Structure 1
Amino acid sequence: MSLPAEFLDDLRARIGLFSLVGRRVKLVRAGREMKGCCPFHNEKTPSFYVNEDKGFYHCFGCGAHGDAIGFVMAQDGLSFIEAVKSLAAEAGLAMPEERQPDPETRRRAGLQDLLEAAADWYRTQLAGVSGADARAYLERRQVSADVAARFGLGLAPDSRDALSRAMMAKFPGLEPAQMLDAGLAGESEGRRYDRFRGRLMFPIHDRRGRVVGFGGRALGDVEPKYLNSAEGPVFHKGRLLYNLHRAAPAARKSGRLLVVEGYMDVVGLAQAGFEEAVAPLGTALTEEQLELAWRLVPEPLLAFDGDAAGMRAGLRAAHRALALLKPGRSLGFLALPPGQDPDDIARNGGHAAIEALLATARPLDRFLFDAEAGAAPLDTPERRGALKARLKALAADIADQDLRRDYLSTWLDRADALFRAARPQRGGGPATGARTGRGQDYRQDYRRGQPLPPPGALAETRAMANTPSEAGIAGILASLAARPEALAHHAEALAHLNLRTEALALARDALLHGRDPGDVLAGVTPRFPADMDETEFDAAIGSALATLAQLHHIGSEKQQPGDLSSDEAFARAFERRRLLAEEREDARRRLTALAIGSDPA
């Protein structure tokens, strides 16, 4: 429905904005304006202002902004027309005659009606006899009927034309081309067919809550696993975020927004009590999607899957965000355990596990630095120079000059500190706590029979060992804090640990720079007593760090298909995988022993 501009101006003039907002927010006078605590996010100090003369409200905390119509839409979850009708009734204004929309508007409105009807039909199928398998799948994923209904989940039966026949019966005169334009049908060799068949259906909405497309998850062994609506007049996947219309109010209230990879991650988080989650639609996070997220919160948190693909997706998003950075807006990154996604964590650990995960968020600058520092060895001047060159190239992508300078300065300082920590100290230098009466050349230690510090693992595999062993690592750091003269020998191994917990990373960095970690390790019991014999202490610390490195490298072992053409080749491959499994289990057992403070057998 198209409304005359003069009617809308009259409506805004008749509605007292102070009075309208004051019914929902406690306002106090602030000069010519009124102020109060923002209704769109949690705050204790008022940053929400209402200007009656100019006819708008604005929050300097979360950025919420709008007029009387926008306020009612946001507070009551109404569409534009619904909000106008509500305010018109309050103001005693009659709604004007409906204007005839232009042909393109009529076409889009027709597609919108078709998509809404399809969503209703899919929901009906899920509740019917044919939906038994889909309901069983949701039950296995611990999705309650209430959450499934809230997200409008449905079922596309495994039929070539069941939806098309249902829509033609509902809309007499429906043209087949409209099913194509709506992304509900496909065409091959002149034959049309329903695009979604045998799939659990997720309606996709725009910011106003209108259905604009669907995502379908295969219920059988079918590729692709997930299928989206085709691009069309109303569906543009790069400009949409799944669940944005539901997540927006919760994100403004909590001040945080989680960006996850999949539809089921969003649904699983809602099941655990987190409504402020969205997902891109099967593609890398786009500039438009980043802008949508930044409209809600200044630092969205990216929680992509804990595998190599999730790491690559996070890096792509981080690189894309650099050019868009501005003061006050950035990204945070959550490190998920290997092989797990947010839905796994929500199902296994509930609300508390997600809160614990949120506490591990790393800022954008740290995430990118760690990724670059772990991308290649840093054991030669040329390789260290290559790291600095990569960091400079990344900083050059930042458009804001002040941020660019700050990022580059921070990164180069951090790189220099890393190089100092990793470089062997000769002649008993004090940088990392020189050891009395003992050479600092690692080759001398090797000749004395001591193993070299374990090499750094690939960045994407380091988290495998860090996840189950944070308590053990804390005990190792506490042991070294009590005997700082032992640090030089283990500096390189420590520098290569990519710790998930920020507190442990701070403690490690302080120790490597010869500083007291202060209260960071307060209450942590040293894993190895300070009165141990020097050689025994060194061996214990070295063994613990070597175990971490071993697990890193075992975890990063690529299982490539081999030659299994003969029984002998098959037997060799089988034996190799069995040995790797035993090594992995042995390393995990030792890490668990460190974490609980027992002696590994």
Structure 2
Amino acid sequence: MSIPPAFLDELRMRVPVSDVVGPAVKLIRAGREMKACCPFHKEKTPSFYVNDEKAFYHCFGCGAHGDIITFLMEQAGQDFRGAVEQLAGMAGLPMPEESPEQRERAKAAQGLHDVAALAEAWFTRNLRSDAGASARAYIQDRGLSQETAARFGMGFAPDSRGALMNAIDAPMAKLVDAGLLVQPDDDRRDAYDRFRSRLIFPIHDTRNRTVGFGGRILGPGEPKYLNSPDGPLFDKGRLLYNLNRAAPAARKSGRLAVVEGYMDVIALAQAGFAEAVAPMGTAMTEDQMKLAWRAVPEPVLCFDGDAAGLRAAHRAAIRALPLLEPGKSLRFAVLPDGKDPDDLVRASGLKAFETLLAGAEPLIDYLWRSETEGVDLKTPERRAAVRQRLGEHASSIEDGSVQQLYRSEFKARFDAAFVQRGRGDDGRGRNRGGAAIPVWMRATAGATSDVKTTAQRTPFEREISAIIVGLLHFPQLADTCGEAIADLEIADPEIVRLRAAIFRAVAGNPALDKTSLHSDLERRGLGQLAETVTVSNRLDFSFTRSRTPGARAAEDLACVAGHLMALAHINDEEADLRARYDSLSQEEFERRSALTYEKLRIQDELRLLAHGRRLEAEEAATAAAEAGIDH
């Protein structure tokens, strides 16, 4: 139903923003406003402000901005209608009249949530009973604790055609509508329990209501996994398993992993990763993508590395294209050696999964690689076919600004790869040794200036290249500093690809050394690129020296990555303040001055680190101490 704008305005007038935000954060009075540590990102100093007079909230740290409706949608995970209904209750206003079709659907669903909740409780009791021994043994074999099973409401359906039907006091028609009973087409046959001899996973909507179930067969039988059927209560294509728990955590951390199955989600949660959801055995639908985007702007699809997982990832990429908007996209992480997240976490720990997540490919890199990697492009006709497919991908994007940028980026990459750019280039974006030439090197080696999108230099390009050199010298840093490195914005797609390859290699083997990493990159065709980046580095950070102790390299690399991220945030905040210069408050003017001071301080620290002076000073002090000199 389309809710009248006047009704929404009435809600905004009646319900103060602080009443909605207050239960989620601790608000402190600051003049006419209130402030708090932002609920959308981690911070120690409050930069999140609430203004009841103007009916909005704003975070000067991450840019989160909105009103009471957007807060419930983005922080509490509610859909639009659910948020409006909750606010209407707070305001004491009746909801506007629904259409006949909506009333019919609501009537059909009336009472079904209660029936589903009763079924969930019954399944849970069965798991604890003698009959649930086989299900408890399976849970234990999968490495899950009893506490984890209880947290996710896992249960057991006995091998009986009528046990649930006899246990729950509800009309048979409601049990059928809730997807708990199967009513044969032949009316002469009795209805029977849908879930039998299965481990049960309750499925909830974003309002924590039970809406359906998934069941894994225990012992022989097909299908291996069975879900509730679509009906008044359950719509598989419009739900993501565990989103009710994952969304609040994802909004705080800024990351959301989409994995394939229930057990992957639960195993990750037990390992300490709360921000995982699953589409319940199907490729991501458009509605599921929209749900994920309510939590974070760039969810990461972590599908298995087998043929089925790769097909699901590709279908999701194609489906996402028409929906792309500024700031909303997908990233892709392919699991190593055919493992699923459950396998990876059990074998290598949560850090291996987080490293894999940090190295996830942006959607545009995934599409470029899927169209060009392993494809014979020696003839003009084959290259023309690739260019046509890339053009079709860009054309499917409905947002004009995003479509234009995809077209420009694809053109720049195609030209850089296949059109002659300079004397050292063989005409396909490669040097005479066959290695891809990074865009930033082509731009400084006599390349023409029409490749604008990827040849543009980022403000911290030299520092980022040095960080990549650090990873090549100390692969373990991809494990210990992966999240910070993954957040760095890199313009050159070849360097993005090299970073992702390093992360994938380390995720598969966290103990990887420098020599083994180089061999892995050689197999991927990236050995020459890695060598070129290393030779071209002109900054003398401690982590660019192969003899630096690992602990010092890790400390300094994390420091540099943090400085670069801080400078990027400062630049963004300064741009926002400049755009609003005429309306800045005294506090915001003071903030501008503080940003300038902080920027200069960070830049000075980077200069010291980049010229090895900090390391040299400490080495000199150590040598002096050993010689007994008062330094």
Distance of 2:205 and 2:289 partners within structure 1? 15
Aligned-residue offset at 1:418: 3.5
Give yes or no for contact 1:62–1:297 (8 Å, CA) kept in 2: no
Query: 2:408: which partner in 1?
Result: 409
Give yes or no for contact 2:418–2:428 (8 Å, CA) kept in 1: no
Change (3 A) 1:372 1:252: same
Distance of 2:421 and 2:149 partners within structure 1? 52
Give yes or no for contact 2:57–2:67 (8 Å, CA) kept in 1: yes
Matched, 1:342 2:341: yes
Percent sequence identity is 49
Query: 1:110: which partner in 2?
Result: 111
Q: Compute the TM-score of the two structures, normalised by the length of structure 2.
A: 0.62
* 1:338 match: secondary structure: helix
Distance of 2:65 and 2:159 partners within structure 1? 44
The CA deviation string for residues 516-568 of structure 1, in whole angstroms up to 9 with x for no partner, is 6988994569xxxxxxxxxxxxxxxxxxxxxxxxxxxxxxxxxxxxxxxxxxx
Give yes or no for contact 2:73–2:294 (8 Å, CA) kept in 1: no
Matches within 5 A, 1:45-124: 48-57=48-57, 61=62, 63=64, 65-67=66-68, 105=106, 107-124=108-125
Matched, 1:250 2:249: yes
Matched, 1:368 2:367: yes
Distance of 1:215 and 1:29 partners within structure 2? 49
Distance of 2:239 and 2:333 partners within structure 1? 22
Aligned-residue offset at 1:270: 0.3
How many correspondences in the alignment?
Answer: 461
- Aligned residue identity for 2:37: C
User: Please, which moves more after superposition, 21-30 or 151-160?
Assistant: 21-30
Distance of 1:54 and 1:402 partners within structure 2? 31
Q: Which runs of 5+ in 1 are unaligned?
A: 1-5, 436-462, 481-492, 526-601
Query: 2:180: which partner in 1?
Result: 184
Distance of 1:277 and 1:428 partners within structure 2? 44
Distance of 1:49 and 1:122 partners within structure 2? 45
Distance of 1:464 and 1:53 partners within structure 2? 50
Change (3 A) 1:14 1:424: closer
- Aligned residue identity for 2:357: L
Kindly report the root-mean-square deviation, in angstroms, between the aligned alpha carbons of the 2 structures.
4.7
Distance of 2:11 and 2:430 partners within structure 1? 71
The CA deviation string for residues 17-70 of structure 1, in whole angstroms up to 9 with x for no partner, is 44774673344648x654443224324676644231354545584757553997
Distance of 2:379 and 2:519 partners within structure 1? 30
Distance of 2:296 and 2:516 partners within structure 1? 38
Aligned-residue offset at 1:379: 2.5
* 1:315 match: secondary structure: helix
Query: 2:152: which partner in 1?
Result: 151
Query: 1:538: which partner in 2?
Result: none
* 2:26 match: secondary structure: coil
Distance of 1:400 and 1:82 partners within structure 2? 30
Query: 2:390: which partner in 1?
Result: 391
Give yes or no for contact 2:105–2:232 (8 Å, CA) kept in 1: no
* 1:295 match: secondary structure: helix
Give yes or no for contact 2:108–2:232 (8 Å, CA) kept in 1: no
Distance of 2:230 and 2:433 partners within structure 1? 64
The CA deviation string for residues 66-122 of structure 1, in whole angstroms up to 9 with x for no partner, is 539976996799x9899889979xxxx9x99xx9x9786454231111100000000
Q: Which runs of 5+ in 2 are unaligned?
A: 1-5, 435-502, 548-631
* 2:411 match: secondary structure: helix
Distance of 2:403 and 2:105 partners within structure 1? 44
Aligned-residue offset at 1:282: 1.8
Query: 1:497: which partner in 2?
Result: 524
* 1:155 match: secondary structure: strand
Change (3 A) 1:278 1:58: farther
Give yes or no for contact 2:211–2:234 (8 Å, CA) kept in 1: yes
Query: 1:230: which partner in 2?
Result: 229
User: Please, which moves more after superposition, 117-126 or 17-26?
Assistant: 17-26
Change (3 A) 1:35 1:131: same
The CA deviation string for residues 307-328 of structure 1, in whole angstroms up to 9 with x for no partner, is 1111111111111111111111
* 1:389 match: secondary structure: helix
Query: 1:571: which partner in 2?
Result: none
Matches within 5 A, 1:164-563: 164-167=165-168, 170-171=169-170, 174=171, 176-188=172-184, 189-190=186-187, 191=189, 192-374=191-373, 376-419=375-418, 432=431, 475=515, 497=524, 507=530, 522=544
Aligned-residue offset at 1:390: 1.5
Give yes or no for contact 2:261–2:278 (8 Å, CA) kept in 1: yes
Aligned-residue offset at 1:184: 0.8
* 1:376 match: secondary structure: coil
The CA deviation string for residues 400-434 of structure 1, in whole angstroms up to 9 with x for no partner, is 22322322222233234444799999999997257
Give yes or no for contact 1:475–1:524 (8 Å, CA) kept in 2: no
Distance of 1:270 and 1:428 partners within structure 2? 49
Change (3 A) 1:296 1:85: closer
Distance of 1:137 and 1:479 partners within structure 2? 40
* 1:323 match: secondary structure: helix
Change (3 A) 1:164 1:400: same
